[in-house]
């Protein structure tokens, strides 16, 4: 992964971490009873932003050691960025809508939350697969 993509990944990791940190505000309000939402939804939101942002930062830190083509490096970048934002926004969507999004059952808001939570599963596997491939491949 070139330096430009690595710097962009560091920037996006910071933004995803910030989304997680900001969800601490509604988490605190929910814990104090000032907000009529599920505390567990905001705990998930808080955790998702922080963990995904740290994962993105870790990948940016080791990306120069990977033996990937420029196309594979770009695919790794876009898949991990999509995964990070989708997971962070999934927590926010759960907290704001009150829907768990564990299935595609109506109402539409639940279906939307389910898509936000389900789509990054594929991109996460793609990103981690590329990470492992780039680490295992001998450099040319």
Best CA proximity match to 88, nearest among 42, 134, 125: 42
Contact assessment for residue 38 and residue 107, using Cβ atoms and an 8 Å cutoff: no
Counting the structural domains of the chain, the total is 1
Residue 4 belongs to what H/E stretch? helix 3-22
What predicted TM-score, i.e. pTM, was given to this entire model?
Answer: 0.91
- Range of lowest pLDDT (7-16, 100-109, 126-135): 100-109
What gap in Å lies between CA 104 and CA 56, rounded to an integer?
Answer: 28
Q: Does 35 score more than 90 pLDDT?
A: no
pLDDT for the residue numbered 38 = 87
Q: How far is CA 54 from the centre of its chain?
A: 9
Write the pLDDT tens digit of every residue in 126-135. Answer: 999 999 999 9
pLDDT for the residue numbered 60 = 98
The mean of the pLDDT values for the chain is 94
Contact assessment for residue 48 and residue 20, using Cβ atoms and an 8 Å cutoff: yes
Write the pLDDT tens digit of every residue in 39-95. Answer: 988 999 999 999 999 999 999 999 999 999 999 999 999 999 999 999 999 999 999
Q: State the residue range of the domain holding 123.
A: 3-136
CA angle, 1 as apex, 48 and 122 as ends, to 5°?
Answer: 40
CATH code of residue 125: 1.20.120
Structure tokens at 107: 């109402």
């Amino acid at each position: 992964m070139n330096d430009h993509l690595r710097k962009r990944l560091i920037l996006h990791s910071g933004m995803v971490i910030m989304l997680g940190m900001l969800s601490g505000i509604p988490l605190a309000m929910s814990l104090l009873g000032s907000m009529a939402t599920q505390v567990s939804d905001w705990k998930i939101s808080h955790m998702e932003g922080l963990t995904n942002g740290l994962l993105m930062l870790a990948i940016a830190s080791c990306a120069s050691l990977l033996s990937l083509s420029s196309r594979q490096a770009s695919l790794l970048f876009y898949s991990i960025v999509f995964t990070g934002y989708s997971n962070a926004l999934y927590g926010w969507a759960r907290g704001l809508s009150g829907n768990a999004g564990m299935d595609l059952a109506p109402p539409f808001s639940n279906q939307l939350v389910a898509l936000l939570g389900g789509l990054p599963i594929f991109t996460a596997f793609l990103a981690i697969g590329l990470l492992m491939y780039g680490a295992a491949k001998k450099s040319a």
